[in-house]
Structure formats: structure tokens, C-alpha cells
Structure 1
Amino acid sequence: MKKLFALAAIAAAAFGVHAQDFPGGKPITIVVPFAAGGPTDRVARDLAEALRKPLDGVSIVVDNTAGAGSTIGNAKVARAKNDGYTLLLTHVGMATTPVLYRKLPYNYETDFEYLGLINDVPMTLVGKPQLEAKNFKELRDWISKSGGKVNLGNAGVGSASHLCGLLFQSELKVEMTTVPYKGTAPAMADLLGGQIDLLCDQTTNTTSQIEAKKVKPYAVTTLKRLSTPALKDIPTLDESGMKNFQVTIWHGLYAPKGTPAPILKKINDALKVALKDPDFIKKEEGLGAVVVNDKRMEPAEHKKFVQAEVARFGPVIKAAGIYAD
């Protein structure tokens, strides 16, 4: 019995040293459950750079594990070794997939350690360059006369663009042909090429395309117009007649369940420093995103916020009758 206690003490001591030495020079992997080049990927790469300094200059690698509306990448992190070297950066899909999918290979409440929210991101309704509609009123008329022949792209079931599209169709009381992709980047590529008509996507992905005049912007999904130079003249859907229409997308950071508390604290402390990094803030603001600077940076508040989002979006998704297997 004494030997067992001694072994347990040695193991605990060894683990404590391991946690204390984190990150210890070993690379950290941030899994992004969407394709490279998309808005969540961009946030992850900017955050990875901002995290390097407060994490002692450690190398941080972004791993794009896309597919199944983010659930493949989420599951990968849920199953990963809980040593702090594998993290997940995802968006509102953490709150929508529990409703959209009848069965998930993970539990959003019990299989992750919540580390803090990163940003809030408005969305924009944009159209292919060939569309003749000059403003939202003309676009709405065109949609009404289309007889359901409008192709509305999204980044996959459970994605931010999917959610925005559901709400948009619900408000207009029209049904469009939804075209899912494995990430926002391929959806945007097809919009630019004219294969789809519309896309409701995050400003982190649309701002540069709007600046370059490669897509037609019709509205933003906030209640007030955005201050970003490239977006400040775009009307809101609310002022365009869709009263109280509001969708903002957030990103959060997670670790596998059971990651030691000292390691979680180091990552959370580093995240708080990164969210105050002037370069990171400037990059996010340039894309129309607002960096979080409130209690949602704390793990417990982050988790409460996600639980509230599940309760908020659940009825909308159920009413649409859209489920994924």
C-alpha cells in the first residue's frame, strides 16, 4: 500500500512539473474545423501570431480539419491528448451543431474545456458580380420573382453562413436552393465565379472582396451600420425593411476535457494578453470584427454564453426542420 502511495505521489509530482513547464518549446496546434482561407482560419492565424509572445515564443501551427459542418474538427480535438498542445478555434457552430445534428461524436458541454471568447463578427449579404440588382430593394424584388431558383451558398451545415441563410429565408418567407460547401473559401470562390447567387458571410471573409469590388454588397446583419471604411456605406437589413434582423458570429478557444488547470490558466492568461495586442486588434477591426473585452474572456462566462446561444438558436433551427445525420 505504501508503495502505491509513493508511486502516485511521484506521478503527481511529475505531472505537476510537466504542467509548470508548459509550453516547454513543443509546438501547439490550433485545429480549425473549416477549410484554409476562410474567415475562421484567418482569425486563427492572426490569433496564433498574437499568442506566440505571451506563450514564450512557442511555435503555433494551424491545422485545418474541415467537413461535416465543423464536427470532424471538433471531434478531433475532443479525442486529442489533454496536455494543452492541441486546441480548437471555432465559431457559433459550437452552439448550432448540437441542434442540427441528431448524433454528435462529442458533447459540447462535457468534452471541452472553455478558454474564452475571441471576437464578435458581423455578417454581410453579398451577391455574385453578375447580379443586376443595385440595392437590397431590387434584390428582394428579384428574389420574389425567382420562384425559388436563387442559389444561396453556405460553408456547410451548422456554419455561420448556413445559420444566416436560414434566418434570411425565414424573414423573407421564401425558400431558396441552398448549396453547402466544405468551408467558406470554396463558397466564396463559386460566388466570384457566378456558380451561386448569394452568400451571407462574415466580414472577416467578405471585406477584402467588397473593397476590391469583386462582389456586390447588399446589407450588413447588425442593427447599426459598421464603422469599417469599406463597409460604412452598406445599409443594415434592419433599415432595409427586415426589422430587428441581427446576426453576429463569435469565435472561441477550447481544449480537450481534462486538460490540467495550470495549463488552462496559462493559455487563458496568454489569450487575454493576445486580445489586447494592438496589431491583433487592428487586423480584426480592419475586417469588421470586434475583439472581445468583457467577462466572456473568462472560461466560465464563455461556457455560459455558449449555453445561452444554444437556447437562442435551437428554436430557429428546429422551426426550419433542417437536420444533419
Structure 2
Amino acid sequence: MSAMDTIMLQHWKLVIAVVVSLAVITGCLVELVKKQLISWVDRQPWRSRMIPLQRNMMHNFGYSKSTTADETVIVDCYCFVIAICSHHLVMSLALTPVVVLGWDSAGSVGQFLFYAGAVGDLAYSAYDSVQITLRTFFPVSFKSLGVQLPKKYFIVMVCLHHMLSMMLTLPMILYYPTLRALHVLMWSLLVAGGMCYLLSCYKFSLDTQTFPQDLLRYKAIVLVQLLTMWLVRGYTWVSQALSAMMVFHGRGDLPFLCVGLVGFVLMTLFNVLMVIDSTKAAIKWLPKQLDKQAHGTKLACQEKELKVKAKQHAEGSRRVQAAKVVLATQ
């Protein structure tokens, strides 16, 4: 056991206090970043294209049509996704040295970064679980946090997704920090979640109705998301989670085995939902062809606009020429 491990075990109360403090700080930072993103998104020309796609995604999570009728709610959710996915990727960077080099080879710096990334991710899970719970069950008292969230969203995000992190992250980094399966799972899930949903935010800005290159980009993103979900939330999750539970079983660690099984079932349900969603998206978008009628209409409008500008330019040139003639005759 390294000196860092010993310190973590001896001061577990301090670790909990740090997590709580970081949860508050994380929440404040996410909200600040979200406000800046909202201001930026509202100025973008693709905002109107993003709205219906983001609205549909929110409906999949249980949002009502009356709630998503307000575009500010949609933009708020869109920017929140960007903020938290960015957080996921930053935390995954902190985990990278241990994942790439291994626990011992990463040294004290790499191990410290791993602890920082793990605790940072736990802090986000704690913050998000609290704010989702308050907005779901106490919407009037905590109206300042945002609109009321549907119970389906609470079940998917808190009960299925965050529960694994809330139950096991701290015990695992205290008692099993060197476990390879822990390193691989935390890193891969953070990278997959952050990357795939950031790509979703980007693809929602594309004009797939008009430009062939945008449709190709959209399809490429859908394919990347499909492969990532099946690889990470399918193969990697099942293989590494089972590997961890085999370690618990081999050591006769019944508490970790029981809690691990509960977390495994809950997270597996969440992963299945994500895999199904990415598969449905692939079935819908990969065979999709450009709407030639819309493309033709767009080109016709652009051509008409160019003709009008050319006519205005020609008219301006004639006026300038006429003025020169008048001046020359005076």
C-alpha cells in the first residue's frame, strides 16, 4: 500500500468533506459555464436547427411537450450537456496516466491525478443527483434551479446512472485503488459519455436538409457513437465489471460483492438504454439521403439572391457611370 493509499484510508472523513465541498464548487462552475454557453448559443445561426433535435432528445428522457415548448428550456438543457460533458473529459484526462502507464508506473503524480479525477467525477455525480432530486420532487421550493424534471429523468439519471458512482467510487478508491478494472471502467465511461454527447451537441447544429457534407458529418458522428456505445457500454463494461466482482469474490469481500452486484445491475440497465438509443439513431440516419427537393429549393433561393445582388450591383455601376458622364460634360 502506497503512502497516498494510507493517507486516504486514515483521513476518510476528510475525503468525504472534500467531495462535498467539490460538489458545491462543481455545481457553481457548471452553472457559470452554462450561462456563458447560453449567451453564445443564442447568437449562433444554427440555433433554430438545434432546437427541434434537442427537443426530441428531451422527450426521450420524459420531458413534456408543454415544458419543451419554451425554447429557453431547450437551450438551457443543451448548454448543460456541453458543460457536464466537458467536465467528464477533463476528469478523464486526470485518469489517463494511470490507465496508460499502470498504477505503479504512473508514480505518485499519476496516482494523485487519478484520485483527483475520481473524486472530481464523484463530486459531479453528487451535485447532479441533488439538483435533479430537488427539481423533480420539490420544484416550487427550488424553482431557481430550473424547470421541474420528469420522474423518468430522475430514474434514468439518478437511480441508474449516478448510483454506481455514489455507492462505489469512494469505497473503491479507498480500498481498491490499484484495481485495473476500476481504472479502465472509470476512464472509458467518462470518455465515452463526454465524447458522444458533445458530438451530439455538434451534430444538432448541422444543416442535414441542405448540405450533403453536413449530412455526411452527421452520419459519421452517428456511426462513431454507435461503435463507442457498443464497445464501451457493452463489451468493456461487462468484461471489466465482472472482472472486478471476481476479485471481490476471490478475496471473500462480501460487502463489496453485494454492492457491486447492485451497481452492476443498475448501470447495466442504463448502458442498455444508451446502446438501444444509439442503435435506433444509426438505423434512422445511416440510410438517410439528402432531401433533393429541399436542397434544390435552397439552391434556387441562393441563386435568386445572387441575381438580385448582381442586379443591384449593375444598377449601382450604371448610376456611377452616368454621374461620371454628367461631371465630364460640365
Q: Relative contact order (alpha carbons < 8 A, sep ≥ 6): 1 or 2 greater?
A: 1
Fold equivalence (TM over 0.5): no
Structure 1 or 2: more strand by fraction: 1
Coarse TM-score class (shorter-chain normalised)? under 0.3
Q: So what's the TM-score if we normalise by structure 1? A: 0.27
Structure 1 or 2: more helix by fraction: 2
